[in-house]
Amino acid sequence: MRDRPGRGMLRLEARPAPSSLWSYASPLLALLLTVLIGVALFAALGKDPVSGLRVFFWEPIRSAYALGELTVKATPLLLIALGLAVCFRSNVWNIGAEGQYVLGAIAASGVALLAGKNSSGWIVLPIMLAGIAGGMVWAGITAWLRDRFNANEILVSLMLVYVAVQLLSYLVSGPWKDPQGYNFPQTQTFALVTRIPRLFDGSRISIGVFLALLGVLASWIFLFRTRAGFSLQVGGLAPAAARYAGFSSRSALWLALLISGATAGLAGALEVAGPIGQLTPYVPAGYGFAAIIVAFVGRLHPVGMVLSALLMSMFYIGGELAQSRLGLPKSLTGVFQGLLLFSLLACDTLVNYRLKWGK
């Protein structure tokens, strides 16, 4: 007796080679899915989906001031993501950029508090260098434990985030607490001479924007035009081939983590000496974790991460506006970030597989 033909079904079929088209189209499809799920989410919460999408995707770009705020949010995200991309391309999983960001902010604040009002304008440079050093030291702890004891860098870097937050809390509630701050856990406001110079009056955009764009150029040159960058990427893709070619995995580990710590520390310094103007318990804003999404949505490419950093900063601003205008919780920012990440992970399947309809 003949077998009856089976019904057609949707299945995944492996591609003979990864699709270059879908490697670029996947983030766009992920963004579209995020928007569609967001519409359903607003409707489920009893809010007008059009109003919800407007506060997330139109309000952050509707005026020159809004674009300035978008740039302010995108700057630390981009800086941290650039360093993380170097780590991830090297197969070094630094998940603790948030802690390195906080240590950079602490180190920069220490220099700013010591400087005082009588310092010259050049004090801004030591403040930024202190932030870079703080982030590198914190990342160096992870590199040393991985190098010396083969400790898992994911767990070590993540646990160090909480150590950094506790250190911050101790400083702003103890030795560095502003005696005239009405018992709030924060330092005194930094002197104007120690603040990162702004580009325009009436805007919070600082020279950090140029530093971030310079970082994009430096990252592209390092990754794609230098032997050190090539060795890092070979070590991440094929460790055995890297060892055969004489590339040192130990050097790659230290270099990747120190670069990542430096960019995260610089981002922390630019925040406390820029828009914030003092050290507070609210410095940990989740930028270090959000930058992981920025790096992967940007395909670990410096130019792609510029666009994804702007998108992620729209989510931050949109979450704040949704709280004030629509009465929604501020945690909606994290919801959109998570939706984008999971949508990207799902859509990335199409890079190596194609959808087929058949038995």
Residue 247 has pLDDT above 50, yes or no: yes
Tens-digit pLDDT profile for residues 166-200: 999 999 999 999 999 888 999 999 999 999 999 88
Q: How far apart are CA 140 and CA 160, in angstroms?
A: 11
Q: Is position 296 within any domain?
A: yes
Q: Is the pLDDT of residue 3 over 70?
A: no
Q: Are residues 300 and 336 in the same domain?
A: no
- Compute the average pLDDT of residues 261-277: 96
Contact 344, 30 (CB under 8 A): yes
| CA distance readout (Å), 199 to 62, 72, 204, 270, 274 | 20, 12, 8, 14, 12
For residue 312, is it within any domain?
no
Q: Rounded to the nearest 5 degrees, what angle is found at the Cα of 282, between the Cα atoms of 122 and 184? A: 95
Q: Is 238 a member of any domain?
A: yes
Question: What's the pLDDT score for residue 107?
Answer: 98
Give CA angle at 88 (136, 76), nearest 5°.
55
What residue has token string 């060795």?
Answer: 231
Question: Is residue 228 located within the same domain as residue 142?
Answer: yes
Identify whether residues 105 and 41 lie together within a single domain.
no
- Are 141 and 187 contained in the same domain? yes
Task: Confirm if 92 and 151 have CB atoms less than 8 A apart.
Answer: no
Q: CA 320, CA 326: separation in Å to the nearest integer?
A: 10
Whole domain around residue 133: which residue ranges?
78-307
What average pLDDT score do residues 150-164 get? 97
Q: How far apart are CA 257 and CA 271, in angstroms?
A: 21
What are the C-alpha distances in Å from 267 to residues 45, 187, 295? 35, 19, 15
Identify the helix (H) or strand (E) that includes residue 11: strand 9-14
How confident is residue 133, by pLDDT bands cut at 50, 70 and 90?
A: very high
Domain identity same for 139 and 273: yes
Q: What is the pLDDT of residues 282-309, one digit of tens each?
A: 999 899 999 999 999 999 999 999 999 9
* Residues 83, 202 within the same domain: yes
pLDDT at 241: 73
The answer on 292 and 201 residing in a single domain is yes
How many domains in the chain?
A: 2
Q: How far apart are the first and last CA of the chain?
A: 20
* Same domain flag for 47 and 94: no
97-115 and 153-173 are packed helices; what angle lies between their axes, rounded to 10 degrees? 30
**Is 221 in the same domain as 108?**
yes
Tell me: do 247 and 129 sit in the same domain: yes
Structure tokens at 290: 């959000």
Q: Domain for residue 148, yes or no?
A: yes
- Tokens representing 241 are 């081939």
Q: Which residue has the tokens 């009002």?
A: 117
The pLDDT mean for the chain works out to 91
Question: The tokens of 340 are what?
Answer: 């984008």
In a domain, 352, yes or no: yes
Q: What is the pLDDT of residue 9?
A: 79
Q: Looking at residue 84, what is its pLDDT? A: 98
Q: Is residue 69 part of a domain?
A: no
**Residue 313 within any structural domain of the chain:** no
Is the same domain home to 107 and 45? no
Give the number of other Cβ atoms within 10 Å of residue 147's Cβ. 16
- What's the pLDDT tens digit per position in 67-122? 999 999 999 999 999 999 999 999 999 999 999 999 999 999 999 999 877 777 78
Record the pTM. Answer: 0.93
Q: pLDDT at position 1, please?
A: 44
Residue 193 lies in a domain: yes
Same structural domain for residues 30 and 138? no
What is the arithmetic mean of pLDDT over 338-354? 92
Angle, CA 172 vertex, CA 259 and CA 102 arms, to 5°: 15
Whole-number Å distance between alpha carbons of 338 and 341: 5
Residue 249 has pLDDT above 60, yes or no: yes
